[in-house]
Amino acid sequence: MSDSLVSVRDVTKTFHQRGRRVQALEHVDLDIRRGEFVSLLGPSGCGKSTLLRIIDGLHESSTATVTVNGPDAEHGPRREAVRPSPAVSALVPWRTVAQNVRFLTRLHRGAATHPVTSDDEIDGLLSAVGLSAFARAYPHELSGGMQQRASLVRAFALGAPILLMDEPFAALDEITRADMRYLLLELWGRINSTVVFVTHSVTEAAILSDRVVVMAARPGRIASEREVALARPRTPEMEDSAEFHEIVRVLRADLRAHHER
């Protein structure tokens, strides 16, 4: 596929745990297009994090062919060519919100294709998540939810061609989590990034994604891939639509069909 940013071919990953073999992934093929929002959905232990780490270059695959068609893919290792951004993680406490955003961008210079560095751009992203008044505040002056939003901005500001997010909202309460989904989409739309997003939530995968990859466990594998035909931008009202409910129904059926008893 010529327009794919990441192409995973026949990836198998076996772990050895105290004499036991665990087949974390078996014969996984996956293409991710530039600019696409893809979710990996599946039960615990089906290899979602392992697949993300293989794309990230943190895990060697047992039989991997992973190609990342980054702008510098032919120079140096893949990890440098298309470096994903770090996960949504804690802010540095002794730097202001704006400094946090800029600091990480500087740290990863060279890895990013389009880092966001100007004050105006940073202010634009912060105001997109409702934090324009807090650019010069310190993390301890922000609520937990505001810190989450700031670190989301920081992840996008890095300008990495691909963002790999492993259940970034798992610890949030339901209302905050729902808000974060739309903020994530807002930033993704502005920055034109590519996102691979791991989640256990069927509705989260459906409202966020262009495509949902449903995985099954033992061995970890791709059970189905579903395009989500909902229009962009996505809105909370869409979650009440018949179209949305139909997508959720199909995804649940896919999960159930491959669920172990």
Ligand X SMILES: Nc1ncnc2c1ncn2[C@@H]1O[C@H](COP(=O)(O)OP(=O)(O)OP(=O)(O)O)[C@@H](O)[C@H]1O
Residues of this chain that interact with ligand X (CB under 6 A) are 15, 17, 22, 24, 42, 44-50, 220
Considering the complex, state which of residue 49 and residue 176 has its C-beta at the smaller distance from Mg ion. 49
Cα dihedral 171, 174, 176, 179, rounded to 10, equals: 120
The listed partner (Mg ion, ligand X, none) that binds 46, CB under 5 to 8 Å by sort, is ligand X
Considering the complex, state which of residue 59 and residue 154 has its C-beta at the smaller distance from ligand X. 59
Q: Please state the closest distance from residue 205 (CB atom) to Mg ion, in A.
A: 14
Closest CA to 198 of 85, 50, 16: 50
Considering the complex, state which of residue 28 and residue 104 has its C-beta at the smaller distance from Mg ion. 28
Part in contact with Mg ion (CB under 5 A); list of ranges 44-52, 127-135, 225-233, 235-243? 44-52
The listed partner (Mg ion, ligand X, none) that binds 17, CB under 5 to 8 Å by sort, is ligand X
248 by Cβ neighbours in 10 Å (0-12 / 13-18 / 19+) ranks as middle
Q: Please state the closest distance from residue 128 (CB atom) to ligand X, in A.
A: 29
The answer to the question of residue 201 lying near Mg ion (CB under 5 A) is no
∠ CA 209-97-82, nearest 5°, is 45
The listed partner (ligand X, Mg ion, none) that binds 220, CB under 5 to 8 Å by sort, is ligand X
Beta strand 221-227 pairing with 20-33:
unpaired
**97-107 and 144-157 helices cross at what angle (nearest 10)?**
30
Considering the complex, state which of residue 168 and residue 220 has its C-beta at the smaller distance from ligand X. 220
CB atoms within 10 A of CB 104: 22
Alpha-carbon gap, residue 129 to 38, rounded angstroms:
22
Structure tokens at 260: 């172990």
Phi, psi of 15 (to 5 degrees): -105, 150
Considering the complex, state which of residue 42 and residue 139 has its C-beta at the smaller distance from ligand X. 42
Which one of residues 7, 49, 99, 224 is an interface residue with Mg ion (CB under 5 A)? 49
The listed partner (Mg ion, ligand X, none) that binds 35, CB under 5 to 8 Å by sort, is none
> If phi over 0 gives left and psi between -120 and 50 gives alpha, with beta otherwise, what is residue 155?
alpha
The listed partner (Mg ion, ligand X, none) that binds 44, CB under 5 to 8 Å by sort, is ligand X
Q: Please state the closest distance from residue 212 (CB atom) to ligand X, in A.
A: 15
Applying CB under 5 A, the residues found at the interface with Mg ion are: 49
